[in-house]
Structure 1
């Protein structure tokens, strides 16, 4: 199903031109700041089609002849095309407000073809600068993004507060909102006779976490992983720690890897590789990873202490081995230094930053990052 951005023209893509509000000469064309840059990013990084919907009062009348409108309008579309921004369709209503036309925003007479099972209107948006755009979203059954340099706007109808999901004066906010909205929260559970592990993961989040494994130091390391990778993580693990920590650490890593593998999905457009060298006091840790679809761990770390907190140091190689196996990635990990606490914490931080690098989306790429075409 195709998601749609229904985008207003005047005041949204280009600035309005009072008092006539008719863009009928080239010198009146003033693009909204950075609209070309961020619409290009939306077009190349996110999964939306663009539909322009605009009211042009009295177009075709003596006061607004079409011969002065179309050359300018076509020039605007050409500029967008030059920047890699293509509109799936353009809908222009030529009536006046007093005509009460069913084709005039906020009515949906021009847009009936989108009420079809191949379009995902529930997850679509109307982007515009007027109340009519918000009402159009309500009539379509989608959400509205309001963009206007005058941020004093207040909803006149409380019933619209659930329709209007973003108020802003810039396209950067719109891009970032849509990017975050595109992110998927994956919920995953693995239950055995020894453990019950539940994970919620959002690969493109803000680094927020809620971690509860029953092992304080493991919680701390996973919180660091979330913070430095910007991956949102909710992890709840209940295991037989009255026996020892082995099953809880192992099954948390297995479940986290399986959730990560599910969340990364097709791997289309990701960087794939990540690597980082991180100093921490007396330690220096190196992590490199490849989201390759294959599992391999190279571990070059020696510990002096038997335990850090409630976690045996021998479990850390087991954690990353389990993650590598279930996430289907190659991992190279090396750390030197004297303080074991610093070693493992610096490893987790370097691992987190490497993950962030590897899952980053490439601009203008919708390919699997492999010359084989498969990962």
Structure 2
């Protein structure tokens, strides 16, 4: 979904003079550090929308010919530095008129408010007055007020563009109750409790080798069968990972890993004796799973080996990932563990963030 950064003009983009009118070129002065901050926000995928009250624009107290020259020069300066506003919304009324188009009213926003194609949660508003913050609340986005002692342009850009990639998901059915938390940028010891000891150990491998923070608790109907617990944990984990990824800007997207010993182990190698597992992953937004392998016994601990490929298939469904996984070996324990570690190492590469570019020519993932 699109995300917008709504921005006030006077006192936010440019200095506001004592008479509160930029009606001459001499009064035009950009705020410090606004250009690099807006460039950073644009690179992170924000579309910039200017929303400004211009008291009495077009009346005798503020003739239009005095407004447009400095305004157009301001836009030219921004554009010369790669900062472009997708839209400019101007209210010309006075405060005493009480019109709905004047911030904090939302009359200028009808087209945007009727559009479900942008994320309110990911979007934000920057201004310098309480009315700007109230406007942000009225349209359902986060508000930042400049000059309040906490926020300046570099700090706003850092907060918007480098936000922690975290998510928490709760999944409740008649068969399972699951809570999972992930933090893609803060590795830590995985905390897992599903009621299936060997499955807990495998999920811990995902947290450790993917380099993420992971906590997962499940109360499932294991007295009936292991199937619901394994499947629903995969669905909840995939949903949490996808939610934490946000718009996927800057991620590696692709990951591939090779685990085992022997000829051809030229990527990530871990000692799994006779076992070799290969995983190739694409966080494409299109779920697809291919598995090549067979296990020499039906269970490892309390985990049926037939549920191993089913786990990864279910993970791909909610993560919206394309995964190819292959394993060969003689020891079922080694084979299952190698599968989880290989996928985790592929995830580690795919999740890694370096920059702000979206790794797709489609414009979305």
Q: What is the TM-score of this pair, normalised by structure 2?
A: 0.62
Tell me the distance in 2 between the aligned counterparts of 1:2 and 1:268: 9
Secondary structure of residue in 1 paired with 2:15: coil
Tell me the distance in 2 between the aligned counterparts of 1:93 and 1:330: 55
Q: 1:260–1:343: structure 2 CA closer, same or farther, 3 Å change rule?
A: closer
Please tell me whether residue 322 in structure 1 is matched to residue 310 in structure 2: yes
What stretches of structure 1 of length at least 5 have no aligned partner? 154-165, 370-375
The one of 93, 97, 108 aligned to 2:105: 108
Q: 1:299–1:212: structure 2 CA closer, same or farther, 3 Å change rule?
A: same
Q: Kindly report which structure 2 residues correspond to 1:9-48, keeping only aligned pairs within 5 A, or say none.
A: 9-12=9-12, 14-19=13-18, 22-23=21-22, 24-25=24-25, 28-30=29-31, 32-42=34-44, 44=45
Tell me the distance in 1 between the aligned counterparts of 2:236 and 2:182: 10
CA shift at 1:280, angstroms?
A: 5.6
Structure 2 partner of 1:362: 358
Q: 1:34–1:280: structure 2 CA closer, same or farther, 3 Å change rule?
A: farther
Aligned CA-pair RMSD? 5.3
Structure 1 partner of 2:325: 332
Please tell me whether residue 350 in structure 1 is matched to residue 345 in structure 2: yes
Conserved? CA contact 2:126–2:143, under 8 Å = yes
Secondary structure of residue in 2 paired with 1:225: helix
Secondary structure of residue in 1 paired with 2:288: coil
Tell me the distance in 2 between the aligned counterparts of 1:297 and 1:121: 36
Secondary structure of residue in 2 paired with 1:87: strand
Q: Kindly report which structure 2 residues correspond to 1:11-160, keeping only aligned pairs within 5 A, or say none.
A: 11-12=11-12, 14-19=13-18, 22-23=21-22, 24-25=24-25, 28-30=29-31, 32-42=34-44, 44=45, 50-57=48-55, 59=57, 66-78=64-76, 83=82, 85-93=84-92, 95=94, 99=96, 101-102=98-99, 106-108=103-105, 110-111=107-108, 113=110, 117-118=114-115, 125-138=124-137, 140=138, 142-148=140-146, 150-151=148-149
Q: What per-residue deviation string (whole Å, max 9, x for no partner) do you get for residues 52-111 of structure 1?
A: 22234565578865434323322444565674744334224464x6x4643685441753
How many matched pairs? Answer: 328
Secondary structure of residue in 1 paired with 2:90: strand
Tell me the distance in 1 between the aligned counterparts of 2:357 and 2:230: 25
Tell me the distance in 1 between the aligned counterparts of 2:48 and 2:233: 36
Q: 1:89–1:186: structure 2 CA closer, same or farther, 3 Å change rule?
A: farther
Conserved? CA contact 1:224–1:348, under 8 Å = no
Structure 1 partner of 2:291: 297
Conserved? CA contact 2:136–2:143, under 8 Å = no
Q: What is the TM-score of this pair, normalised by structure 1?
A: 0.61
Conserved? CA contact 2:282–2:350, under 8 Å = no
Structure 2 partner of 1:8: 8
What stretches of structure 2 of length at least 5 have no aligned partner? 258-266
Q: 1:185–1:322: structure 2 CA closer, same or farther, 3 Å change rule?
A: same
Please tell me whether residue 171 in structure 1 is matched to residue 148 in structure 2: no
Tell me the distance in 2 between the aligned counterparts of 1:282 and 1:114: 58
Q: 1:346–1:232: structure 2 CA closer, same or farther, 3 Å change rule?
A: closer
Q: Kindly report which structure 2 residues correspond to 1:222-371, keeping only aligned pairs within 5 A, or say none.
A: 222-226=203-207, 228=210, 230=212, 234-240=216-222, 247-248=225-226, 251-259=228-236, 273-276=254-257, 277-278=267-268, 287-290=279-282, 293-298=287-292, 315=305, 318=306, 320-326=308-314, 327=316, 329-332=322-325, 346-347=341-342, 349-354=344-349, 356=351, 362=358, 365-367=361-363
Judge which range, 49-58 or 281-290, deviates more. 281-290
